[in-house]
Chains A and B, each alone.
Chain A
Amino acid sequence: MKKFLVAPLAVAGWLSLTQGLAAQETVVKWLHIEANPPIVAAWEQVARDYEAANPGVKIEMQFLENEAYKAKLTTILQSKDRPDVFYSWGGGVFEAQVEAGVLRNISDEMRGDWENTLSPAAVKAFTLDGEVYGAPMLVSQVGFWYNKDLFAKAGVNAEEIATWDDLLAAVDAFKAAGITPIAAGGADKWPLHFYWTHLAIRLGGQAAFVAATSGSGDGFDGPVFVKSGELWQQLTQKEPFQRGYLANTYPEAAGIFGDGQAAMHLMGNWDYNVQRSNSINKEGLSDDVLGWFPFPEVAGGAGKSTDTLGGINGWIFSESASDEAVDFIRYFLSKENQTAMGREGYFIPVAKGSAGEMKNPFFQRISQNIAASDYHQIFYDQMLGPDVGRVVNDISTDLAAGIISPVEAAETVQEAWLDK
Chain B
Amino acid sequence: MKTGLGLTEDLSVDLAARRWRAWWRRANRHGRLTTMVLFLPPALLLFTIFVVIPIGEAGFLGFFKWNGYGEVTNFVGTQNYERLAGNRVFKSALVNTGLVIAVSLLVQLPLALGMALLLANKGPAAYIFRTIFFLPFILAEVATGLIWRFVYDGEFGLVSSIWGALGAEAPFVLAERGLAMYAILVVVVWKFFGFHMMLFIAGLQNIPRELIEAAQIDGASRWKVTFYVVLPLLKPTIMLSMFFAVLGSLQLFDLIMPLTGGGPSNSSQTIVTYLYQFGIVRLRIGFGSAVGVVLFFISLAFALAYRRNLFPHSAR
Q: Which residues of A contact B (CB under 8 A)?
A: 70-71, 74-75, 77-78, 96-97, 99-102, 186-187, 189, 243-248, 385-387, 390, 394, 397-398, 400-401, 403
Cβ–Cβ < 8 Å partners of B280 in chain A: 71, 74
Cβ–Cβ < 8 Å partners of B180 in chain A: 247
Q: Considering the chains assembled together, what is the distance between the CA atoms of A100 and B72 in angstroms?
A: 11
Check A403 against B155 for contact (C-beta < 8 Å). no
Check A245 against B68 for contact (C-beta < 8 Å). no
Check B265 against A246 for contact (C-beta < 8 Å). yes
Cβ distance B226 to chain A, nearest Cβ, rounded Å: 43
**B133 CB–A CB distance under 8 Å:** no
Check B69 against A244 for contact (C-beta < 8 Å). no
Residues 253-283 of chain B, each 1 if its beta carbon lies under 8 Å from chain A, else 0: 0000000110111100000000010001111
Residue of A nearest to B67 (CB): A96
Q: Which of A74, A394, A398 contacts B69 (CB 8 A)?
A: A74
Check B68 against A246 for contact (C-beta < 8 Å). no
Check A394 against B266 for contact (C-beta < 8 Å). yes
Check A394 against B260 for contact (C-beta < 8 Å). no
Max chain B Cβ within 10 angstroms of own Cβ: one of A70, A97, A394? A394
Check B175 against A186 for contact (C-beta < 8 Å). yes
Residue of A nearest to B183 (CB): A247
9 inter-chain pairs at a CB distance below 8 angstroms, sorted by A residue, are A74-B68, A96-B69, A246-B264, A247-B175, A386-B282, A387-B67, A398-B266, A401-B264, A403-B177
Check B265 against A387 for contact (C-beta < 8 Å). no
Residues of chain B from 259 to 313 with CB closer than 8 A to chain A in the complex: 260-261, 263-266, 276, 280-284
Cβ–Cβ < 8 Å partners of B263 in chain A: 186-187, 189, 246-247, 397
Cβ–Cβ < 8 Å partners of B281 in chain A: 70-71, 386, 390
Check A74 against B175 for contact (C-beta < 8 Å). no
Q: Considering the chains assembled together, what is the distance between the CA atoms of A385 and B281 in angstroms?
A: 11
**B81 CB–A CB distance under 8 Å:** no
Residues 54-70 of chain B, each 1 if its beta carbon lies under 8 Å from chain A, else 0: 00000000000001111
Check B283 against A386 for contact (C-beta < 8 Å). yes
Cβ–Cβ < 8 Å partners of B68 in chain A: 74-75, 78
Q: Considering the chains assembled together, what is the distance between the CA atoms of A114 and B199 in angstroms?
A: 67
Q: Considering the chains assembled together, what is the distance between the CA atoms of A214 and B196 in angstroms?
A: 57
Cβ–Cβ < 8 Å partners of A248 in chain B: 175
Given contacts A74-B68, A186-B264, contact A390 B282 (CB under 8 A): yes
Say whether chain A's binding surface is mostly helix, strand, loop, or mixed: helix
Apart from the given pairs A246-B172, A387-B284, 6 other A-B contacts in the complex at a CB distance below 8 Å: A99-B70, A243-B154, A244-B154, A247-B149, A390-B281, A390-B282
Cβ distance A359 to chain B, nearest Cβ, rounded Å: 35
Give the top 4 A-B pairs by smallest Cβ distance, nearest first. A244-B172, A100-B69, A246-B264, A247-B175
Cβ distance B150 to chain A, nearest Cβ, rounded Å: 12
Check A397 against B175 for contact (C-beta < 8 Å). no
Residue of B nearest to A98 (CB): B69
Given contacts A100-B70, A243-B172, A247-B175, contact A394 B283 (CB under 8 A): no
Q: Considering the chains assembled together, what is the distance between the CA atoms of A398 and B264 in angstroms?
A: 9
Cβ distance A247 to chain B, nearest Cβ, rounded Å: 4
Residue of B nearest to A385 (CB): B283
**B174 CB–A CB distance under 8 Å:** yes
Check A387 against B175 for contact (C-beta < 8 Å). no
Cβ–Cβ < 8 Å partners of A386 in chain B: 67, 281-283
Check A394 against B265 for contact (C-beta < 8 Å). yes
Cβ–Cβ < 8 Å partners of A247 in chain B: 149, 172, 174-175, 180, 260, 263-264
Check B265 against A401 for contact (C-beta < 8 Å). yes
Given contacts A244-B154, A247-B175, contact A403 B69 (CB under 8 A): no
Q: Which of B69, B174, B260, B266 contacts A97 (CB 8 A)?
A: B69
Q: Which of A74, A102, A186, A403 contacts B283 (CB 8 A)?
A: A74
Check B175 against A246 for contact (C-beta < 8 Å). yes
Q: Considering the chains assembled together, what is the distance between the CA atoms of A101 and B67 in angstroms?
A: 13
Q: Which of A77, A97, A99, A244 contacts B175 (CB 8 A)?
A: A244
Q: Considering the chains assembled together, what is the distance between the CA atoms of A246 and B282 in angstroms?
A: 21
Cβ–Cβ < 8 Å partners of B154 in chain A: 243-244
Cβ–Cβ < 8 Å partners of A78 in chain B: 68-69
Cβ distance B274 to chain A, nearest Cβ, rounded Å: 12
Residue of B nearest to A261 (CB): B155
Cβ–Cβ < 8 Å partners of B153 in chain A: 244
Cβ distance B164 to chain A, nearest Cβ, rounded Å: 14
Q: Considering the chains assembled together, what is the distance between the CA atoms of A248 and B261 in angstroms?
A: 11
Q: Considering the chains assembled together, what is the distance between the CA atoms of A328 and B261 in angstroms?
A: 37
Given contacts A387-B284, A401-B177, contact A102 B69 (CB under 8 A): yes
Q: Considering the chains assembled together, what is the distance between the CA atoms of A77 and B280 in angstroms?
A: 14
Check A96 against B172 for contact (C-beta < 8 Å). no
Check A244 against B174 for contact (C-beta < 8 Å). yes
Q: Which of B70, B149, B264, B282 contacts A101 (CB 8 A)?
A: B70
Check B264 against A397 for contact (C-beta < 8 Å). yes
Residue of B nearest to A75 (CB): B68
Cβ–Cβ < 8 Å partners of A401 in chain B: 177, 264-265
Residue of B nearest to A186 (CB): B264
Cβ–Cβ < 8 Å partners of B266 in chain A: 394, 398
Q: Considering the chains assembled together, what is the distance between the CA atoms of A394 and B89 in angstroms?
A: 11
Cβ–Cβ < 8 Å partners of B282 in chain A: 386-387, 390
Check B70 against A187 for contact (C-beta < 8 Å). no
Cβ–Cβ < 8 Å partners of A74 in chain B: 67-69, 280, 283
Cβ–Cβ < 8 Å partners of B155 in chain A: 243-244
Cβ–Cβ < 8 Å partners of B276 in chain A: 71
Cβ–Cβ < 8 Å partners of B177 in chain A: 246, 401, 403
Q: Considering the chains assembled together, what is the distance between the CA atoms of A370 and B147 in angstroms?
A: 42
Q: Considering the chains assembled together, what is the distance between the CA atoms of A100 and B66 in angstroms?
A: 11
